Structure 1
Amino acid sequence: MKTYRIRKPRIVVIGGGTGLPVILKGLRNESADITAIVTVADDGGSSGSLRQAINVSPPGDLRNVLVSLSEMPKLYEDLFQYRFKKEDEFLANHSVGNLIIAALSEMRGSTYEAIQLLGKIMHVDGHVYPASEESLTLHAVYEDGTTVCGESKIVKDRKPIDYVYVTNSCNQETKPKAARKVVRAIMEADMIVLGPGSLYTSILPNLMIEEIGQALLQTEAEVVYICNIMTQKGETEHFSDADHVSVLHKHLKQPFVDTVLVNTAQVPDNYMNKEKYDEYLVQVQHDFKGLRSQGCRVISADFLELRDGGVFHDGREVVEEIFRLVFGAKY
């Protein structure tokens, strides 16, 4: 049931992947004024093949975010999310929503315009913006000095990452730019939420757009990072929560995260379905002293939800904490 407020707090959520929609659904139910800024560096699966075939921004993360904020009937949502079976030849593994976004992007000549139109059609409660209006390519430089190009390739070698950066996919000579209204949304927000999501491949690709990174350093909004529950193969192996924040600060060259939400509930032994969720390894280690030394307020609680053999953030618990923070800070 939705909560109604006289003054909706302006909350900007930045990221990608499967964790973002969980938080957005909870925020929608609490009647926040939501803006989702979504990565456009994905080059795997359906999104990757579509961006190669018709030069469209990767639609997958945008699709999931639209659905999480949509008021459309369940049947329409199920249709939008339907993924063709792997034996369906050239349609194999494509979702209907990805194809619709690709078609509208081609019709309008812009993924940004396509997402704004779909927002109206789907009765989206909030604003959804791609981080950039062009597809981006994610690059990683490993600690041994070697490099790799492409979000889907970064984790394969399982080497420690030194840093990542993004380039425009079609014209690497030009500097990536933030999509229209993105910087304004950050500067006018009451709170910025990063994650949950893959550190190097879902969150940092957005922050590596210079305008977005600078806006995060300049905004007066509280910046909240939702730390991942599990470490990820090829990205954050052996990481503590403090290590996650240290990487964020390193990439923007100064501390900017104000508050970190950390799950302290234990995942039961042998619970996870390792075949279905093969990218996750072990629970993130806690280093509260390390977090505080970086100037962060630490909020630790049971944010854990176990379902379908996987480990997720409990959207309701996380959103309750976000609202305690935003109303305590601004109202």
Structure 2
Amino acid sequence: MKTIFIIIGILGWISLFISLYLYKKITKNRNQILGSKNTEKEGPKVVVIGGGTGQSIFLRGLKHYTQNITAIVTVADDGGGSGVLREDLGMLPPGDIRNCLLALANIEPTMNEVMQYRFTDGNLKGQSFGNLFIAAMNGLYGNFETAVYKMSEVFAITGRVLPVTLEDVNLIAKLKNGNIIKGESRIPVEVRSQKSNIDKLTLDPMDVTPLEEVITSIYNADIIVMGPGSLYTSIIPNLLVKGVVKAIKKSNAPKVYISNIMTQPGETGNYNVLDHVNAINKHTNKELIDYVIVNNEILPEDVFEKYKKDGAEQVLLDELQNKELDDMGIKIIEDNLVEVKKNYIRHDAKHIADIIVNLALSHNYDNDK
């Protein structure tokens, strides 16, 4: 109870901070940025569906190639600082939304660092200042959608960030041993503890409705991208929201899945590329993917030694997978997609963004012929 009073008190002065300082300073920065550009947004309309670190990293690269970006973000997170705010304040989890907003933001580096700052002591230990900022906006405007929109304005983001739904939703996993696990944060832990992989995911409640702009953006997209990101806790939860898969299937845009570089212990242990695709198809009851983008660089042992200790392996294609994906009508784009920063293996966001944008442009050209 003490924690919630501390949070509420901090949210009060963050709201004042917004009014007196941030809005004026960052709006001025926004006007300078937009004033130097054509007011009409440029580039193909790219919809990116996912959540987590993978999505935000990709968005940082994508904003250099197009201004027409819509990030659709899962809101099933119930762990960490987001989980605390979700439980204490009854709001949607802000963590993945925050990361996407900052990835697309046009703000000073110092302010970006402030938004990502995590408290190290006291009742707020582990809590992100950016999460509290969104919570303040949510309290100020009384609506999470409006809070995200206003924060997008303040940060002069390139494109839009949309929660997939505004409803309170939890992720439920049925493991292959038959056990049921409730809660996004518990699923990877229990998979490893019980040594049983995920069989099927559902949402609780099952009939949550998407944000209207989510469906509209999918229909209007030039290309729809799923990933990169955690298969079961970032990508698939979006596809379980009522109407999302139907909209994707009806869209004329090419549908692309960006495969992870490494397996994720607790989610996709021992998975190859085909396993990832099959998991998406299983949860959507449709063959949803037109293209899969795959890394083909074999990493040296010393680069991912620490990943191997945790049980992670590279996600690679072989001839059998190639044939099966081809039989499913899925085109494969293979390339060296790896970027290593501070000993972390990541996707080369700009390289993948270049592939995505060129794919969208070539598809539009073919349709116009």
TM range (shorter): over 0.9
C-alpha separation between the residues in 2 aligned to 1:240 and 1:3?
Answer: 43
What residue ranges of structure 1 are gaps of 5+ in the alignment?
none
Counterpart among 301, 314, 329 of residue 335 in structure 2: 301
Read off the aligned partner of 1:92 and give its amino acid letter.
Answer: K
Which residue of structure 1 aligns with residue 316 of structure 2? 285
Residues 74/206 of structure 1: CA separation in 2 closer, same or farther (3 Å cut): same
Which residue of structure 1 aligns with residue 151 of structure 2? 118
For residue 316 of structure 1, report the CA deviation from its aligned partner: 1.3
Counterpart among 214, 226, 233 of residue 265 in structure 2: 233
For residue 75 of structure 1, report the CA deviation from its aligned partner: 1.3
Counting only pairs closer than 5 Å after superposition, residues 129-278 of structure 1 correspond to structure 2 as 129-158=162-191, 159-167=196-204, 172=205, 175-272=207-304, 274=306
Q: Percent identity?
A: 37
C-alpha separation between the residues in 2 aligned to 1:72 and 1:50?
Answer: 25
Instruction: Considering fraction of residues, name the structure with more strand.
Output: 1
Residues 92/55 of structure 1: CA separation in 2 closer, same or farther (3 Å cut): same
Which residue of structure 1 aligns with residue 16 of structure 2? none
For residue 30 of structure 1, report the CA deviation from its aligned partner: 1.1
Instruction: Considering fraction of residues, name the structure with more helix.
Output: 2
For residue 278 of structure 1, report the CA deviation from its aligned partner: 7.6
For residue 273 of structure 1, report the CA deviation from its aligned partner: 6.5
Which residue of structure 1 aligns with residue 29 of structure 2? none
Residue aligned with 2:119, SS: coil
Residue aligned with 1:213, SS: helix
Read off the aligned partner of 2:332 and give its amino acid letter.
Answer: V
For residue 268 of structure 1, report the CA deviation from its aligned partner: 1.7
Asked if structure 1 preserves the Cα contact closer than 8 Å seen for 2:41 and 2:68, the reply is no
Listed one character per residue, the Cα deviations across residues 62-82 of structure 1 (whole Å, up to 9, x for unaligned) are: 001000111111111111111
Which residue of structure 1 aligns with residue 12 of structure 2? none
Which segment is superposed worse, 3-12 or 211-220?
3-12
Which segment is superposed worse, 193-202 or 23-32?
23-32
Give TM-score scaled by structure 1 length: 0.93
Residue aligned with 1:128, SS: strand
Which residue of structure 1 aligns with residue 344 of structure 2? 310
Which residue of structure 1 aligns with residue 8 of structure 2? none
Residue aligned with 2:84, SS: helix
For residue 324 of structure 1, report the CA deviation from its aligned partner: 1.8
C-alpha separation between the residues in 2 aligned to 1:280 and 1:113?
Answer: 41
Residue aligned with 2:356, SS: helix
Read off the aligned partner of 2:329 and give its amino acid letter.
Answer: G
For residue 293 of structure 1, report the CA deviation from its aligned partner: 2.2
Query: Is 1:65 the counterpart of 2:100 in the alignment?
Result: yes
For residue 290 of structure 1, report the CA deviation from its aligned partner: 2.4
Residues 279/14 of structure 1: CA separation in 2 closer, same or farther (3 Å cut): farther
CA RMSD of aligned residues (A): 2.0
Asked if structure 2 preserves the Cα contact closer than 8 Å seen for 1:138 and 1:151, the reply is yes
Q: Which has the larger radius of gyration?
A: 2
Asked if structure 1 preserves the Cα contact closer than 8 Å seen for 2:63 and 2:158, the reply is yes
Listed one character per residue, the Cα deviations across residues 268-299 of structure 1 (whole Å, up to 9, x for unaligned) are: 21323638x98660101312222222221000
Read off the aligned partner of 1:15 and give its amino acid letter.
Answer: G
Which residue of structure 2 aligns with residue 84 of structure 1? 119
Listed one character per residue, the Cα deviations across residues 19-53 of structure 1 (whole Å, up to 9, x for unaligned) are: 11121112211124000001101111111111011
Residues 11/93 of structure 1: CA separation in 2 closer, same or farther (3 Å cut): same
C-alpha separation between the residues in 1 aligned to 2:353 and 2:244?
Answer: 24
